[in-house]
Structure 1
Amino acid sequence: MWHFISEQISDNVGHDFICDDIREVKQGDTHKAYKISDGRHRYFIKLNDSGQLANFSAEAEGLSHLKACEVMRVPTVICHGVVEDHSFLVLEHITMQDGDKDDWFTFGQQLALLHKNQTQEMYGWQDDNYIGQTPQPNQWHKKWARFFAEQRIGYMLQLLAERGESLPDIDRCVEATERLLHGHQPVASLLHGDLWSGNTGFHQHQAVLFDPAMYYGDREADIAMTELFGKFPQAFYDGYNDQWALDEHYSYRKPVYQLYHILNHAVMFGGQYLTSAKATLNTLDA
């Protein structure tokens, strides 16, 4: 397997690469990850079963698109494919460090610029992709409230219902979400889509983004995610607002944007996430 991956790397970088140092690194709960080296060059490898190739293909597309925006550091995609019974994704290896206050402030500014400058007329994405291991539908839509209610909240609820989970009525929850967002027609900004601390880092004081779940939507959805699983440092929000201040009603919409990610974690892991999701849904459906 490693010989084949080395050959694929060689073909894509234009020089011979034969890995002689393979080290597994901790990288989430959904796949295995490795750092490989030939003594001169290093690469970051994700491995999963062969059925996960579509997930890696979507990630590669998102990373390449995000990198082309030239706003923040994004690892270069080297190659992806299938070998034996494994799918793989090879990325540039970037050594991460913690950021200081100034780094986080600049990161906030850069994200605001991404949201402000990378826009288009409709909500969605050119293809369906994934949020973690969960499929994420992205059919283009002109109305944000309908897009988010149906393709985010409604879709996750349907996945949970198909697993036999007892939930509030899906149609009522979708309608309640649409009512909550009714009249809110924000700029369709390019979103990272899964923006939490585990998908960010810093290299030489420069912010790095990875593991996107990209689509065009309300920029507040990205900000809400940064506040869900361990809020980013305040300097980040200061930097963001320095470039493009959040709307005064953001806090009203934040819970429903966070609900999407809680539902996704309920789909992937169940347990306390399902309990939390049900509590929020009951409030939404009240």
Structure 2
Amino acid sequence: MEELIQKALSSSNKVSNNSLIEKIIPVGGGCIHKAWSIHFQNGKRVFAKSNYIDNINMFKFERECLSVLKRFANESYICVPATLDLISYQNISILFLEWIDLKQCKQNVLGKGLALLHKSSSEWSKKNFGWEEEGFIGSSTQTRGWNSNWGEFFVNYRLRPQLLQAKAWGVKVEDYEDVLIYLSSYLNDHQPKISLVHGDLWSGNCGCTKNGLGSLYDPACYWADREVDISMTKLFGGFNREFYKGYEEIWPLNKFSKDRTDIYNLYHLLNHANIFGGSYKENSLKILKDLRSRV
């Protein structure tokens, strides 16, 4: 693979700036793509992700998401890696990104930066929730489309597609139509401001830089209720009090936001159940049962 990366880079100066490669080191942590740290003789370092050419749309979606995040991120708080190039070579596709050195931090700046991103994008006068192109959430498709009503969008473009996939492990979407109708009405009444969201905000997709900034990467963006990001930070843990304190200092959450946490996280739990199975199935069914009690 290292040889293929070298040959792919020979066709582009956007990444190398005419410098020779010194070494290519595999980077662990991902379960969908292979990742690499590329060191050049001029001292430059680049992050690369590779996959088969059939999966290039994943990289195109990520490139678009990073570009839009970068547009709305306040650079005094949040660093979003720049996309250097997307190259197809033989049977592989490679996404080259700016390298960002990460370190542990108190997360206050990350919380503030996320709030500023949500707030600045909400002032852009977007009229519909959604996203133009088909996206991805992990290895699953994230349905494209627009709707001016938040409840209708979240139910029909996020929950319903996942429930339809869950048919493979015994879930019948028709058994939960009453829940979906309730959620659509409930979220329509909530009708939040439309913000750009990261979309897959667990602790593995964000961090802090060595320069003391927050950083966002590996996004699954769409225009949504900002609470979907906050909800996911509570799904798998990894975010401390400083993160939430920083967020609330910039843009306080609605006092009823906790009532929507399970609703928004159901999307991710169903997605994980459809991909990985295991306890994610049980957790998804539990939330569906709890939500039915609210109907």
Aligned 1:112-123 pairs, distance under 5 A: 112-119=115-122, 120-123=126-129
User: How far 1:9 moved relative to its partner?
Assistant: 4.3
Matched, 1:267 2:269: no
Alignment match, 1:228: 235
C-alpha contact (below 8 Å) 1:44/1:93 kept by paired residues = yes
Aligned 1:73-88 pairs, distance under 5 A: 73-88=79-94
Matched, 1:124 2:130: yes
User: How far 1:8 moved relative to its partner?
Assistant: 4.2
Q: Pick one of 273, 276, 283 that aligns with 1:276.
A: 283
Distance 1:173 1:8 in 2: 53
C-alpha contact (below 8 Å) 2:135/2:142 kept by paired residues = yes
Q: Pick one of 26, 50, 53 that aligns with 1:50.
A: 53
Alignment match, 1:37: 39
What secondary structure is seen at the aligned counterpart in 2 of 1:94? coil
Q: 1:14 to 1:48 in 2, by over 3 A?
A: closer
Matched, 1:64 2:67: yes
User: How far 1:126 moved relative to its partner?
Assistant: 2.3
Matched, 1:155 2:158: no
Distance 1:75 1:223 in 2: 21
C-alpha contact (below 8 Å) 2:228/2:264 kept by paired residues = yes
Q: Pick one of 201, 204, 209 that aligns with 1:195.
A: 201
Instruction: State the TM-score, normalizing by the size of structure 1.
Output: 0.93
Distance 2:40 2:85 in 1: 17
- Give, as a single letter, the amino acid of the residue that structure 2 aligns with 1:114: L
C-alpha contact (below 8 Å) 1:24/1:35 kept by paired residues = yes
Matched, 1:89 2:92: no
Q: 1:14 to 1:68 in 2, by over 3 A?
A: farther
User: How far 1:20 moved relative to its partner?
Assistant: 3.2
User: How far 1:246 moved relative to its partner?
Assistant: 0.5
Aligned 1:128-207 pairs, distance under 5 A: 128-161=134-167, 163-167=168-172, 169-203=175-209, 204-207=211-214
Q: 1:8 to 1:171 in 2, by over 3 A?
A: farther
User: How far 1:284 moved relative to its partner?
Assistant: 2.2
User: How far 1:138 moved relative to its partner?
Assistant: 3.1
Alignment match, 1:212: 219
Distance 1:47 1:190 in 2: 27
C-alpha contact (below 8 Å) 1:25/1:35 kept by paired residues = yes
Q: 1:13 to 1:31 in 2, by over 3 A?
A: closer
Instruction: State the TM-score, normalizing by the size of structure 2.
Output: 0.90
C-alpha contact (below 8 Å) 1:3/1:18 kept by paired residues = no
- Give, as a single letter, the amino acid of the residue that structure 1 aligns with 2:164: Q
User: How far 1:17 moved relative to its partner?
Assistant: 3.3
**Identity of counterpart residues, as a percentage?**
35
Distance 2:12 2:280 in 1: 39
User: How far 1:231 moved relative to its partner?
Assistant: 4.3
Structure 1 unaligned runs (5+)?
none
User: How far 1:173 moved relative to its partner?
Assistant: 3.7
Structure 2 unaligned runs (5+)?
none
Distance 1:9 1:172 in 2: 54
User: How far 1:172 moved relative to its partner?
Assistant: 3.2
Alignment match, 1:24: 26
Distance 2:114 2:140 in 1: 25
Distance 1:113 1:139 in 2: 25
